[in-house]
Amino acid sequence: MSKTISSFLVLCLMGFAWAGPITFKDPTGDDNGPGNYVYPTDAVYKAGSFDLTELEVKHKGKNVEFSVSMAAKLDDPWGMGVGFAVQMVFIYIDTDGKAGSGHTDGLPGNNLKFSEEHAWDKVVILSPQSKSRVTSEAKEKAADVYGDILVPGRTNGKGKTISGKVKLADLGGGEPESWRYQVVVQSNEGFPAKSDLLTRKVNEYEGQHRFGGGNDGDCDPHVMDILAGSGKGDDSEKQAQYDMLKHTCDEEGNGKQAVLTMISAK
C-alpha cells in the first residue's frame, strides 16, 4: 500500500472517530419549568443557574462526551471539588427510535413521563456528587432501570459548561447522530427525600433550598428547564417547553404527570 493511500485511510478513520459534534440549543429565560416555577431563596441559586442553553454530544473513538451549558457561570459554593455544585442534569437518550421500546417513567425525583413513541433507552447523569454516591443511590432508588443509568467517572464544570464522558459500548453502541435526546435540568440535593434520586423538590412556596410555584405533592414535574421544539434555541421553544410540562394536581397532590418527547439529531 502506498504511503499516500495509507495516510488517506488514517485521515478517514480519524474523521470517523472524531466526528463533528451534535448540538442542540435552548432559549434563555425559560428556567421556570412549566412557566411559573421560581428559584430557592438562598443566594447560591443565582439567576440563570438552571437555564439550559446548549447540549453538545461528541463521539470520540470509544467514548461519547456530553456537555451541557447554562446561562450563568458555574460556582462551587458547597465545595464539591468539580467546578460546580447546585446543578444536576439528566440526559435521556432514545437509541433505537422504536415506539414502545425502552422506559416511559422518568427517574425518581424528576416526576415526569415520556411518550411511548419517545421512550428512553439510556440516561446519563451529570452530577457534582461522586460516581459512587450517584450509582449507589441509583441502585437503591431506581433498581428496575439501573442497568440503563450511566454516570461518568468524573463530571466537571468549567465556565458555564458541565461535561462528562461515557463509553459508547455502555450506551449500546451505534451512532449518536441517529439518536434522540432530552435534557432535564434539576438541582443537586445532598439530602434528598427517601424516594428521590439526589434531586431537589419543587414545592408550592419557595424556601431557602426549595423551588416554588409547584405542588407539595409529587404530581408536578421537578424540572427547571428542558429541550423543546426543534432544539434551535428559538423563543417559540419556550412555549413548547411550557406545553410539554403541563400537568394536573389536585388538593391531595395527585394528578397527571407531564409527558416529554425527544429531539432528533437528524
Domains of the chain: 17-264 (2.60.40.1190)
The whole-number pLDDT of residue 266 equals 76
**Residue 124 pLDDT > 80, yes or no?**
yes
Which of 185, 87, 91, 69 is CA-nearest to residue 129? 87
* The overall pTM is greater than 0.85: yes
Please give the share of the chain, as a percent, with pLDDT higher than 90. 89
Dihedral over alpha carbons 239, 105, 254, 39 (to 10 degrees): -50
Q: How would residue 19 be classed by pLDDT, with cut points 50, 70 and 90?
A: low
Strands 122-126 and 149-150, bridge-based pairing: parallel
pLDDT in tens, 212-265: 999 999 999 999 999 999 999 999 999 999 999 999 999 888 999 999 999 998
**Residue 4 pLDDT > 90, yes or no?**
no
CA distance 84 to 183: 18
CA distance 48 to 71: 5
Joined together, the cell numbers standing for residue 38 give 421560581
Which of 215, 216, 221 is CA-nearest to residue 258? 221
Joined together, the cell numbers standing for residue 247 give 400537568
- Mean of the per-residue pLDDT values of the chain: 93
Question: What is residue 69's three-state secondary structure?
Answer: strand
CA distance 226 to 245: 9
Secondary structure element (H or E) that encloses residue 134, with its range: helix 131-141
The whole-number pLDDT of residue 16 equals 45
